[in-house]
Amino acid sequence: MPDPINLAVSLFSGAGIGDLGFRAAGFDFSVLCEIEPDRAALARLNFPDARVVAADVGEAGPAICSEVASRLAKYGAELKLVTCTAPCQGMSKSGQGTLLRNAREGKRPALDPRNALVLPALDVIDRLRPEWVVFENVLEMRNTLIRDRDGELKHILRIIHDRLAPDYDGRAYDVEFADYGIPQRRQRLITVFTREPVALAAFRAGSPLIPAPTHSKAGGGLSKWVSVRNAIREFPPLDGRTAATAEHSTLAYHRVPVLDAKKYEWIRHTPAGRSAFDNQCVNPACGFQGNPTHGASHDSSGVNRSHRDTPLYCQRCGEQLPRPYTESADTPTGKRLMSGYTSAYKRMDGDLPAPALTRNLSYPCSDHKIHPTQNRVLSLAEAMRLHTLYHYDFRWGPLKQVGRGPKKTAKAAPDSLMRLVIGESVPPFFFELLGRRILDLSRSEPGVPPQVNRPKRWEQLTFC
């Protein structure tokens, strides 16, 4: 007897990177919905059997429901899963800080309209009635307020619960992806609801709807976190000083931006786990290591600001420290310490999983983006490894044709788009684990504890 068809729908799909994990677990996506054309093009390339709707979720609702109805009739199945990974910029810490600042200055309403995109998604879910619903967002989603359809101000999670009840039950889980063997410290709120009877009984009896962690920072009875050093140790070295040293000649996507001379000097002197703002004296005749380091504190308005009195010059010999600086006509030397967060120009700690990969993963001035030992940022190939993308068959092109006649060529996604979609997505390996957990719970017999069908640990997989 053939395996059942586990039909799924993805809302706010991005390039479909997270959905790769659900597909590997056994889900067949009938529709992916993504408003950004470049992300939708990548999703279409990688999910050729699905209909990819490049439109706003609210506008795409009828098309999504029509396509799902057609597939359900074809396969004689129920819709198993809807995933919803709505934009997080209005919910994240940085997004909320920007929102508050702009609200104080009267530049925008206090409620970010992007946070309300969950409402049209819930309308689609109401019509589709899947057995399972998975929401993914930043941890700050727990405390995010929006107005419901009646204009009442409520927490997003309360609105989700009220719209799905009483047929569905579930909860939100704080998840650290490093706890699942992913070599990246990335925390997300994973909210899972189900109406599947067997899974409902298991959940109400105390079984979690997400897989159990396999790793921890301390180890104990679990495996220890996978460090960034171990995860990328096989990649050939690169150096950001010149174009010749910044790209590998044969390994695809193993390339980094070339650093200008000033940035290279700051990074060259930065120890593991520290910021270039903390660099000490490199004058051979001095070498003083006691210059004050960079810091931040909250001002009277409650805004966390970096200190402005961090020295740029050695307090013992007066030589300039290899710290980020900018030209300034307001200082006697014509230079001043660059404004920046204490995590800017910071080198990763090789003994820990990588910090969360963001859309700015190739910018050394962004948070914790410098390679643990080499003078550069991470390459795209290393980012794919740390994001567990190497385990899956994901194509970056061709996306479009350029030129005319016999010179017409196919183009792959540019590096800038690769960085964006990696930074916006969930490591697909976690969604594979979650997908397997969902299917295991659905297959369990009433009264029998569900057995987790565990794939191999991340570090045992082959990525090259």
DSSP-assigned states of every residue in 269-311: TPPTT-BGGG-----TTT----SPPP-EEE-TTS-EEE-S---
Q: Which of 329-338, 398-407, 447-456 has the highest mean pLDDT?
A: 329-338
**Region 71-83 average pLDDT:** 93
Task: Give tens-digit pLDDT for 295-323.
Answer: 876 666 555 566 778 999 999 999 999 99
Question: How many domains, in total, are found in the chain?
Answer: 1
Confidence of residue 456 (pLDDT cuts 50, 70, 90): very low
Residue-wise burial string across 277-286, b where 16 or more C-beta atoms lie within 10 A, e elsewhere: bbbbbbeeee
Structure tokens at 259: 């650093």
Report whether pLDDT(404) > 90: no
C-alpha to C-alpha distance for 286 and 314, rounded to whole angstroms: 9
Report whether pLDDT(361) > 90: yes
Task: Give tens-digit pLDDT for 276-289.
Answer: 999 999 999 999 99
**Region 50-77 average pLDDT:** 93
Q: What is the pLDDT of residue 453?
A: 45
Q: Is residue 25 within 8 Å of 432, Cβ to Cβ?
A: yes
Query: Long-range contacts for 410-419 (Cβ within 8 Å, ≥24 apart)?
Result: 413/38, 413/42, 415/255, 415/362, 415/380, 417/38, 417/42, 418/253, 418/380, 419/359, 419/360, 419/361, 419/362, 419/380, 419/383
Locate the DSSP E strands across 365-429: 400-402, 409-411
Residue 297 lies in a domain: no
Task: Give tens-digit pLDDT for 132-178.
Answer: 999 999 888 888 887 888 888 888 899 999 999 999 999 999 999 99
Residue 205 lies in a domain: yes
CATH for 185: 3.40.50.150
Percent of the chain residues past pLDDT 70, beyond the cut: 84
Residue among 3, 46, 427, 5 nearest 32 (CA): 46
Q: What is the pLDDT of residue 418?
A: 96
Residue at token pair 């963001």:
358
Residue among 77, 26, 18 nearest 423 (CA): 18
Report whether pLDDT(87) > 80: no
Query: Which residue range forms the structural domain that includes residue 79?
Result: 7-225+424-460
Confidence of residue 23 (pLDDT cuts 50, 70, 90): very high
Residue 240 lies in a domain: no
Task: Give tens-digit pLDDT for 249-260.
Answer: 999 999 999 999
C-alpha to C-alpha distance for 168 and 330, rounded to whole angstroms: 63
Q: What is the pLDDT of residue 367?
A: 83
Q: What is the pLDDT of residue 174?
A: 97
Q: What is the pLDDT of residue 100?
A: 55
Q: Is residue 446 within 8 Å of 464, Cβ to Cβ?
A: no
Report whether pLDDT(103) > 90: no
C-alpha to C-alpha distance for 95 and 85, rounded to whole angstroms: 16
**Region 400-419 average pLDDT:** 70
Q: What is the pLDDT of residue 340?
A: 75
Q: How confident is the prediction for the chain on average, in pLDDT?
A: 87
C-alpha to C-alpha distance for 343 and 360, rounded to whole angstroms: 13
Residue 157 lies in a domain: yes
Report whether pLDDT(402) > 50: no
**Region 259-267 average pLDDT:** 97
Distances 221 to 108, 213, 434, 449 between C-alpha atoms, Å: 49, 11, 21, 21
Report whether pLDDT(460) > 60: no
Residue 396 lies in a domain: no
Q: Is residue 128 within 8 Å of 82, Cβ to Cβ?
A: yes
**Region 420-429 average pLDDT:** 96
Angle at CA 18, nearest 5°, toward 13 and 24?
120
Residue 48 lies in a domain: yes
Q: Is residue 322 within 8 Å of 278, Cβ to Cβ?
A: no
Task: Give tens-digit pLDDT for 177-235.
Answer: 999 999 999 999 999 999 999 999 999 999 999 999 999 999 889 999 999 999 999 99
Confidence of residue 412 (pLDDT cuts 50, 70, 90): confident
47 by DSSP, 3-state: which?
A: coil
Q: What is the pLDDT of residue 226?
A: 97
Residue 203 lies in a domain: yes
Residue 155 lies in a domain: yes
**Region 378-387 average pLDDT:** 97
